[in-house]
Structure 1
Amino acid sequence: MGLNGPELTAKVGGEAGPGGVVARPALFGRLDESARVTMLSAPAGSGKTVLLRSWISQRRLAGRAAYVAAGREERDPQRFWLSVVTALRATAPGAGLVGAVTGAPGLDGQTIAEQLLGDLAGLEDELWLVVDDVHELGEESLRQLELLVMRAPQGLRFVLAARHDVRLGLHRLRLDGELTEIRDGDLRFSLAEAGELLATAGTKLPPSALAGLHQRTEGWAAGLRLAALSLAGHPDPERFAAEFSGTERTVAEYLLAEVLDRQPAQVRMLLLRTSILERVNGELASLLTGAEGAERILQDLEAAGAFVVSLDATRSWFRYHQMFAGLLRLELRRTEPGAVAGLHRAAAEWLAGHGYLVEAVRQAQDAEGWDLAAQLLTDHWPALHLDGQASAVHELLAGFPSGLAAADAGLAAVAAADELARGSLEAAEGYLGQAQRGSQSVPEARRGQVRLLLGLVGLLLARQRADLPAVTEQAARLEAMVQASGAGIAVTGLGEDLRALALISLGIAEFWADAPDDARPNLERGIALARQIRRPYLEFTGLAYLAATNLLRSTARAVELGTQAVELAERHGWASEPAARVASVTIGAVLAYQVRPAEAEPWVQRAERFLSTETEPAVVLAIRYVRGVLELARGRTTQALAAFEAGVPLSRHLASRHYLLPPTRELLVHSLLRLGETDRAARFLTGLNDSDEDRSHGTTRNSTAALRLAQGDPQAATAALAPVLDGTAPLAWPARKAQAFLLEAIAREALGDQAAAETALERALDLAEPDGVLLPFLLYPAPGLFERHVRHRTAHASLIAEIQTLLLAGTRPARSPTRPEPLREPLSGSEVRVLRYLPTNLTTPEIARELSVSTNTVKTHIRNLYAKLGTHRRAEAVETARALGLLAPSRTAAPA
């Protein structure tokens, strides 16, 4: 039947309530600017009809648009073409061109189509033929419509709507650029449009409730419309919106009538039996239905717009629209209640056998097969952990009845691992104890697997407590299990994976125990093995800690490795993992020590975002330490002191002394001295343990020297520093030793020993410049010392200039994140020496005198530097050299 004029306008509605139609200007615009043929293809209830009718109404096209609704009765070609003729004759352009046609027995649709082509040959105005529900047409009518589309005059434009793609030869139009396609994704309502639709029905939901409703309906127009109708006048609209699903009566009736009841028996059975799954493929569907050809059925359903969505490019995995899936599960329970548990169990076994471990456990839980679910989870937890799926494991554990973990040794071990990841060390130890006690009564066939779980969780617990002896012991036990391969261990093929985990765990424990030289090779071997066996989670964990160990060797390398770890974390969704925080805080530490607080802040904030003192005392202590360093770089001493004071007690949760505990104490004393609390600083140092290790540690001696200088006793300061400077009280990081030499220089100057002061200051600069570490010079300012030193022979004129600028300004401005092109060719040694003077105020002749070369030689070197750096001025050369790490380490962009 054709619709026009007032009759058409009366039909406009659908998504709208009493207030009118929801405006969809973006889609109206696409229809306005569409090619000669527009195809709307989307499932039932997607809003195709309402869109077309409201577009015709709002664009005032009723006089130029012939609308035909092709119902099932139009499968007869004659009836369809009579409707088309009637609708065209009702338009202004068609009224004078299209002749009347009277239905008669034997009247052929092809004849009518040919007559229309003749009648419209003289069409000069623009005329639209809108055919809705094209999928209802029979093959003969479709063939005749294709003839009209291909041979129609340019003035006749077609808008065709269907629930699925139809055979109209549209591929030729697509190639010629004469086809506009609007599909399901285009028709889905946005969150804002969903809110507007509800508002037209007189309902307003809070933003969170609206977002939940929009997510469940997936923007499906009919679902939103049905929700709007039900919500109008409902006494508790928020609760209704939260519970709204495909099982709601009006939605269920719609989907049954428009989708499910239209399917053949075989297709209906497939939909019902596979509705228990989160996603389905052909093989799994065939298993659950006992019938072949399931993949083809799923592909046909997707093509037909039957609320089936493909999940991959090869169209082998599919999911059902959430509301449709809800209806299917309800209908399955109604029609085959005795089959549901068996379907879940069969699906669980198939999924586990094909490596889809999380889905397998969920299916077993849905069947309430708790023994099967527990066995699947405990058998496959090692693989889930090695893949970084701690969040999924947490959700699976929550799906078991309360108290079951205490009764099952394997589940208790997994619960211990879950507490390590997101709970507390004490709770983890409690579950691990239950697992150890319960392991004595585990059947012989399961004991090997439980022993494996106990070893893995014990290793992780020891690692988080920074208990190096325990980590070493547990790693050896795991290695023995790998060597014994088999006997009672359900998970096979994990030998190399467990070796990589053990190596990385050893490296982490050694790092926290202040043995970086031991940690580094273990981490490197573990990372190499993780890459070889394709375990990105292990690689990411190793990279984060390898970055931290490289802080003591090269800050540029530390930043490079930390960035690699962060990129892996972002790619795989591991930003809340402890290792991600270690990588972020490592980068933040480098930038803070280089006195770049604006650039360091986002990295430290990123590390602080998921703090968990209960499970990660070692990591949290490191974050507190770097936060304090950053606040010192900002000149905010009170805030720095608070961070250090919060960090020191965390060491009590660890089995061995955290490597950052001594420097945390050192900077705590420094903060007290900057605040003028000399007596309190002295009491803190006096209160340290009487162990030789604490009192003789290099950082303690630095703190003592700073205290003595504050007390006006430079002689005592030099006595405290002597073991640090001669190496008997070593400091692993050159920057910390630079601090000792700087304190020595200040003390020697106070004692009037200018030569010794200059020697000590030059040594401090030697140690600081390779990594661009400037914080010590800001913490212990000595401007007069630098003023005199720059006039003497020094290899660090540019570094002194930066320090002097810092002392005047406080901090450096943030650098641009843009990195210049690499050097066109390497700099020579002479060019590097000249480059170091470019940031200073020295003239070319003065630089020549400093280097004991001719002015022409310096000019030649400067010209070469400009050419190699791709610059034209001195300031540009300095900035580019800094960006390339030639005057300071490479820039690091702030995290998002």
Structure 2
Amino acid sequence: MNSLFQTQHAPLQLSLIASKLCPFTACNSLVPFPRLLKRMMESSTIPMALVQAPPGYGKTGLLKQYYQQLKQDGARTAWLSLEDGDGDLPHFSAYLKATLELVGQPIPVNGLLTRVGETSLSKALTALLELLQGDQSPIYLFIDDVHHLAGSDAVRCLSMLIERAPPHLHFVLSFRGEPCLSVARQRMQGLVSDINVRELRLGHEEALCLLNHLGVESVPEEQLRQLQNRLEGWAGGLVLVALLLRHDPDQVYNLANFSGERRQFSEFFLQDVLSRQPQDIREFLLHTSILDRLDADVCNALTGRLDSQARLRDCESRGLFLMAMDEEQKSYRYHPLFAEFLKRELRQTNEKLMLQLHMVASELLIQTGDYVGAFNQAFATKDYLRAAEIIDTYNVEIFSSYVNAWALVDRLPEDIAMRFPAIILSQIWQLEVRWQFETCRTLLEKARLRLNQIERDHLLPRERIQTLRNEWLHRELMLGMMGDDPSTIQSQAQYLQANYSDAAPLVKGSFYTAELYARREHYQLDEVERLNTLSMECLNRLPHEAAHVFHNAVLAPARLLAGRTHAAIQALTIALRSAVNISGHGSPLPAMLAVHLAKVHYERDELQQARVLLEQYLHQATYIGFVDQAIAGWLTCARISMFDGDKANAFRMLDEADVFANEHGFERLRLFSLAERMKWLLRQGEVDEVIRLGRKNKLRGPASDVAPQKGVSTRDEARALCWVRVAQAEDRLPEALNLAKLWHRHLEAANAIRSALRWSVIIAHLALLTGDQRAAQRALRRALFQAAPCGFIRVFLDEGEWLVRLLRDQLQAAKLDGEPVDAFASDLLERAGGEIPTSQAQAAVSPEQGSAIFGALNSRELDILEMVSIGMLNREIGIKLGMTEGSIKWYLQQIYDKIGVRRRSQAAERARQLGILR
């Protein structure tokens, strides 16, 4: 025993253990957690700090660090550690008196001091208060593990001391659960600082620091993340894991499967938690351990009690790893590791009872509407047929509210699951959303065969069979929409609208969303808003807004295509807010909308808004939803990277898009990504690479192969864009120009403004390359007229120098004050940097020499121009530079465009006039 203080007062004699009066742990042996220590120091001016958490959350360690810091700062500190048996009033008051008398003085190592243990509460309190007279400088009284005083006269003494203590006495108290003394009034007066489990949970860096301190290093990032998820920030659990890893380092790759049934955890839970509880509490814990959510009614049924709500509060106050799930503290859950330990104890002591509890819980949860919980309880008894019946009966409720319901079906034996077509059809819909198309096709075929068997054997009423067949058709419809195959969707959607009138609101609303998608993809935009209204009438009847997110992910691209940018931004912003409320920031559901919103902002040259959205959501945009979000996300990110001058990242984004497109068979994404890649390759002069890509993708056929015809879709447009790029690289400019005009006429007639604008700009560029500057100006003027009301800006700015020159020439030729199109053109020119900056390749020229060049010549263009000036042929230049003759032609077109000539014979003379060549 450590050195003792003895108090004598006949007939009472008490011995005080000195080690309880000081935290002997040296400060340098504690793991520093600056965040938590800072939180404690912030409460140093508040009369009372309460640290509350179950065992193992580091309460004592935190108090010791706080104690040491205050002591180093010169504050007067006092410490008392409590344990079982300290609730006796004379015992407690003697310790407290000794603690207060020793403030600022060293504890004797040897020798005895005499103290009197008071047996009267009032006398004990008076004696304690007398000790606090005199020096009024702050005293910080630390009392660790106050829960050992629960229900005793000692806790009454402490409560009265808190009530009557002078202002300079500060209390720092720790509890395993809720405080066992009344502090409600002090809380209302702002005199209490509470630190609970949420604040004591260790973050990622803190967990890493603790493991390193315990001699465990080099834990892989993924394994540490999995471990953190299992432990939920519980420091004690991390210590137990560290002990295991030091003994068996190979276990580091099995951290995701750490269970409360492991010996390290089970021994702790058994010895330090469960065995310390009275019998009725132990029984309550074991009987309710099978529940994922502890509600009083269900707990009453499982335990045969009527006071489960009070019992839950009691367990929480005892620090029994019980976590409140709502602000009202009506529903709770156990820490997952503690729950696993309790279930193991229940199974080992009475497995028959455990199975009975699971069955009772399953039926009770059905009554409360927790159908997923009911399924899990039935599944735990291995009554797979009953589990399947629950999903079959409540499949609409389960699959409309539980995003991972498909995984429940995967847990069932296939022969049982296939007895219930409704289950398989519901599973298919969720897998379609996740782009698991091959699995869905397989399941659709199995469901079709099962339906045929049911109908042949008359296993269900005819009306039910017809409903299931309509559901099957709906899943086929959804597969076409999610898989981006719009060819038959419009007719399928219209058939279901006419023949499945009693469909659930969620299903019925999707009929109209699917038709909207099909019409959008075929440029039939007149019906978009009507179909939007019909779909929303159905979806507004649902109790949640998740379906609104999917609908808006289809609606937004349609509105953008039609030039309704303001309506698109407004609807996307509202829907994004709802999606965040449902699943949180940075998750896949809001990502479906965020990337579309980023694209609209980019189109309007609102680059900062676009960047923020893409940084937060792009990595989450490839889990659920539609291919449109992938197109919007990757291409917008690539364009921003090009704007920033980060070509490597831009092409990396396009590479990722290609991989994803090939994985899921998204041809439209692949083609739009290819068209974007070709555009930037041409900009960089990589003509041969564009030609190679054209050959690889069979894009060198006649223009009629990609010309707009009846029923063309956006996928056909993407292929036509690629074809035009290849034709431009091969110097087949008239063919490319004719095709561009055909597409422009088709899209303009359909009021597909955004796509028509793209082709207008292409026409202007091709016309300029062929030497027809007037035609280029006309195409640009038409594009400006269409773009101005919609705020489409980047479609022009992304084209670079040639379009800036056209803009400047147009404004110089015929600018009218008050003309909206000219105002828009002026804004574009200002955003592009106004006058083209002078470069080393340009020389100032006198008025008699004509206007300056329209773009800086790069080093390769200067080399080619110099060879042209000495009479070298294209073939000879190509040999000298290691390029094809087609590439040389392409470079010459860029040179002609920049110096303002259209013929080879004029290029050298013009270059000498401008001072580029001598």
Q: Percent identity?
A: 22
| Cross-structure match for 1:764 | 783
1:330 positional shift: 1.2
1:249 paired with 2:269, answer: no
Indicate conservation of the 8 Å contact 1:308/1:318, yes or no: yes
1:312 positional shift: 0.6
Partner secondary structure for residue 803 of structure 2: coil
| Cross-structure match for 1:23 | 32
1:473 paired with 2:492, answer: yes
Greater alpha carbon shift after TM alignment, 122-131 vs 612-621 = 612-621
1:343 positional shift: 2.4
**Residues 52-451 of structure 1 aligned to structure 2 (within 5 Å):** 52-53=63-64, 55-56=66-67, 60=71, 65-91=77-103, 101-102=115-116, 107-118=119-130, 120-123=132-135, 127-137=139-149, 138-166=151-179, 168-204=181-217, 206-208=219-221, 209-234=223-248, 236=250, 238=252, 244-387=258-401, 389-390=402-403, 392-401=404-413, 405=417, 409-442=421-454, 443-444=459-460, 447=465, 450-451=468-469
1:553 paired with 2:575, answer: no
1:513 paired with 2:513, answer: no
1:362 positional shift: 2.5
1:283 positional shift: 1.0
Indicate conservation of the 8 Å contact 1:279/1:319, yes or no: yes
Q: 2:481 aligns with which of 453, 457, 463?
A: 463
Q: Structure 2: give runs of 5+ residues left out of the alignment.
A: 6-14, 838-918
For 2:52 and 2:446, locate their aligned partners in 1 and report how far apart those are by CA, in whole Å.
58
1:523 paired with 2:535, answer: no
1:555 positional shift: 2.4
| Cross-structure match for 2:901 | none
1:210 positional shift: 4.2
The 3 A distance-change label for structure 1 pair 265 and 809 is: farther
TM-score, normalised to structure 2, is 0.71
1:321 positional shift: 2.0
For 2:374 and 2:836, locate their aligned partners in 1 and report how far apart those are by CA, in whole Å.
55
Greater alpha carbon shift after TM alignment, 424-433 vs 66-75 = 66-75
Q: For this pair of structures, how many residues does the alignment match?
A: 793
For 1:163 and 1:575, locate their aligned partners in 2 and report how far apart those are by CA, in whole Å.
33
The 3 A distance-change label for structure 1 pair 478 and 102 is: same
Partner secondary structure for residue 507 of structure 1: helix
For 1:613 and 1:169, locate their aligned partners in 2 and report how far apart those are by CA, in whole Å.
50
Indicate conservation of the 8 Å contact 1:425/1:461, yes or no: yes
For 1:663 and 1:213, locate their aligned partners in 2 and report how far apart those are by CA, in whole Å.
39
For 1:102 and 1:648, locate their aligned partners in 2 and report how far apart those are by CA, in whole Å.
81
Q: 1:454 aligns with which of 458, 472, 476?
A: 472
For 2:660 and 2:320, locate their aligned partners in 1 and report how far apart those are by CA, in whole Å.
61
The 3 A distance-change label for structure 1 pair 168 and 522 is: same
Alignment deviations for residues 701-725 of structure 1 (CA, whole Å, 9 cap, x no partner): 9999999999999998987777778
The 3 A distance-change label for structure 1 pair 437 and 78 is: same
For 2:361 and 2:612, locate their aligned partners in 1 and report how far apart those are by CA, in whole Å.
45
Greater alpha carbon shift after TM alignment, 308-317 vs 19-28 = 19-28
The 3 A distance-change label for structure 1 pair 664 and 531 is: farther
The 3 A distance-change label for structure 1 pair 474 and 549 is: closer
For 2:260 and 2:770, locate their aligned partners in 1 and report how far apart those are by CA, in whole Å.
85
For 1:170 and 1:278, locate their aligned partners in 2 and report how far apart those are by CA, in whole Å.
32
Indicate conservation of the 8 Å contact 1:644/1:665, yes or no: no
Greater alpha carbon shift after TM alignment, 437-446 vs 235-244 = 235-244
1:801 positional shift: 2.9
For 2:162 and 2:748, locate their aligned partners in 1 and report how far apart those are by CA, in whole Å.
90
Indicate conservation of the 8 Å contact 1:282/1:295, yes or no: yes
| Cross-structure match for 1:852 | none
1:274 positional shift: 1.6
Indicate conservation of the 8 Å contact 1:188/1:220, yes or no: yes
1:434 positional shift: 0.6
1:35 paired with 2:46, answer: yes
The 3 A distance-change label for structure 1 pair 439 and 84 is: same
1:271 positional shift: 1.5
For 1:121 and 1:510, locate their aligned partners in 2 and report how far apart those are by CA, in whole Å.
85
1:582 positional shift: 6.1
Kindly report the root-mean-square deviation, in angstroms, between the aligned alpha carbons of the 2 structures: 5.2
For 2:732 and 2:117, locate their aligned partners in 1 and report how far apart those are by CA, in whole Å.
116
For 2:387 and 2:742, locate their aligned partners in 1 and report how far apart those are by CA, in whole Å.
61
For 2:691 and 2:197, locate their aligned partners in 1 and report how far apart those are by CA, in whole Å.
74
Partner secondary structure for residue 523 of structure 1: helix
Amino acid at match of 1:436: R
The 3 A distance-change label for structure 1 pair 312 and 507 is: same
For 1:84 and 1:613, locate their aligned partners in 2 and report how far apart those are by CA, in whole Å.
60
1:294 positional shift: 1.2
For 2:597 and 2:306, locate their aligned partners in 1 and report how far apart those are by CA, in whole Å.
56
1:361 positional shift: 2.6
The 3 A distance-change label for structure 1 pair 786 and 705 is: farther
The 3 A distance-change label for structure 1 pair 150 and 402 is: same
For 1:808 and 1:265, locate their aligned partners in 2 and report how far apart those are by CA, in whole Å.
80
Greater alpha carbon shift after TM alignment, 220-229 vs 87-96 = 87-96
Amino acid at match of 1:204: E
Alignment deviations for residues 456-506 of structure 1 (CA, whole Å, 9 cap, x no partner): 4223113234345445435644764443xxxxxxxxxx7333322222222
The 3 A distance-change label for structure 1 pair 354 and 658 is: same
Amino acid at match of 1:162: F
Indicate conservation of the 8 Å contact 1:280/1:317, yes or no: yes
1:584 positional shift: 4.5
Indicate conservation of the 8 Å contact 1:69/1:132, yes or no: yes
Alignment deviations for residues 90-120 of structure 1 (CA, whole Å, 9 cap, x no partner): 5567999x9954469xx43433332343454
Alignment deviations for residues 601-646 of structure 1 (CA, whole Å, 9 cap, x no partner): 6667778646769996676567677678778878999978996998
The 3 A distance-change label for structure 1 pair 561 and 318 is: same
| Cross-structure match for 1:841 | none
Partner secondary structure for residue 319 of structure 1: strand
For 1:425 and 1:661, locate their aligned partners in 2 and report how far apart those are by CA, in whole Å.
20
For 1:500 and 1:696, locate their aligned partners in 2 and report how far apart those are by CA, in whole Å.
25
**Residues 846-865 of structure 1 aligned to structure 2 (within 5 Å):** none
